[in-house]
Amino acid sequence: HLVCPMNMSPYVDPHKTSQEIWEEFSMSFTPAVREVVEFAKRIPGFRELTERDQVSLLKAGTFEVLMVRFASLFNMAERTVTFLSGKRYSLDLLRSIGAGELLTSMCEFSEKLAALRLDAEEMSLFTAVVLVSADRSGIQDLNSVEALQDKLIRALRNQLMQNHGAEAATTFTKLLLKLPELRSLNNMHSEELLSFKVHP
Ligand code: HEM
């Protein structure tokens, strides 16, 4: 099994070699990763960072951006996860074939994010904040990354103030509190990925 919704299905063909399984899986998730790169290039100010810092932020933050973007794959009303093929699998089925605590944490994250009812523009600004807030270890020009982050956070807050009336301040706070949650999901997910690489 390969229980990641970025795959086409959680089942793998037992006749395939682990290299073939990875190749097929890569074909499934690569378009989504490319879109993150294209999205980053469109964040005003991102391309003005040093090329190395752009790469560092993308390496550290791509999973977190994808997590936000694909949170809607987790349907908590129906207790299902939609894989990239479009096919849906129940949480119970995914648990029975090996998914664990991480799946549960991602479901909770997605449900709470959906409850904030962000529109496309707010979602896009939040995603930009997520990317420039990625792990800073190895960043060369911290001041520029922080200045860009501040600018994006202000833009997000202004956007929320326009659309969410009395709830705007709480929504803003809740979104900022999602950043450490995303970091923790990223760390847990990296461990799953590594152990899968070791024992496919
Ligand atoms: C698990 C790879 C992105 C959700 C895994 C596993 C791998 C993997 C190898 C372990 C599979 C297993 O042991 O059966 C990747 C790669 C990604 C990616 C290379 C980069 C594009 C994502 C994203 C999400 C996600 C964006 C969420 C939207 C999950 C879930 C699991 C998982 C729910 C199972 C967790 C559990 O066992 O509790 N991923 N993944 N992955 N991934 Fe991903």
Listed by start position, the domains of the chain span: 18-198
Pocket of ligand 1 (CB under 6 A): 1-6, 29, 33, 63, 66-67, 70, 73, 98-100, 102-103, 106, 189, 192-193, 196
4 CA → ligand 1 middle, Å? 4
* Closest C-alpha to ligand 1, atom 41: 4
167 CA → ligand 1 middle, Å? 33
Ligand 1 atom closest to residue 104's alpha carbon, by position in its atom list = 38
Ligand 1 atom closest to residue 188's alpha carbon, by position in its atom list = 35
Residue 62 confidence (pLDDT)? 98
Ligand 1 atom closest to residue 29's alpha carbon, by position in its atom list = 21
Residue 199 confidence (pLDDT)? 83
E strand map for 19-149: 74-75, 80-82, 88-90
CB contact at 8 A, 46 and 148:
yes
Ligand 1 atom closest to residue 73's alpha carbon, by position in its atom list = 28
Q: In what order do the strands lie in the sheet with 88-90?
A: 74-75, 80-82, 88-90
75 CA → ligand 1 middle, Å? 16
Mutate to test the pocket of ligand 1, among 4, 187, 190 (most ligand atoms within 8 A of CB): 4
Residue 1 confidence (pLDDT)? 94
Number of neighbours of residue 27 by Cβ within 10 angstroms:
10
Residue type, 26: S
DSSP state of 31: H
The domain defined by 18-198 folds into Retinoid X Receptor (1.10.565)
Taking only the tens of pLDDT, the chain with its 200 residues reads 999 999 999 999 999 999 999 999 999 999 999 999 999 999 999 999 999 999 999 999 999 999 999 999 999 999 999 999 999 999 999 999 999 999 999 999 999 999 999 999 999 999 999 999 999 999 999 999 999 999 999 999 999 999 999 999 999 999 999 999 999 999 999 999 999 988 88
Residue 10 confidence (pLDDT)? 98
* Closest C-alpha to ligand 1, atom 8: 193
Q: How far, in Å, CA of 164 to CA of 197, rounded? A: 44
Mutate to test the pocket of ligand 1, among 30, 185, 192, 199 (most ligand atoms within 8 A of CB): 192
Residue 197 confidence (pLDDT)? 84
Provide ipTM, 2 decimals.
Answer: 0.98
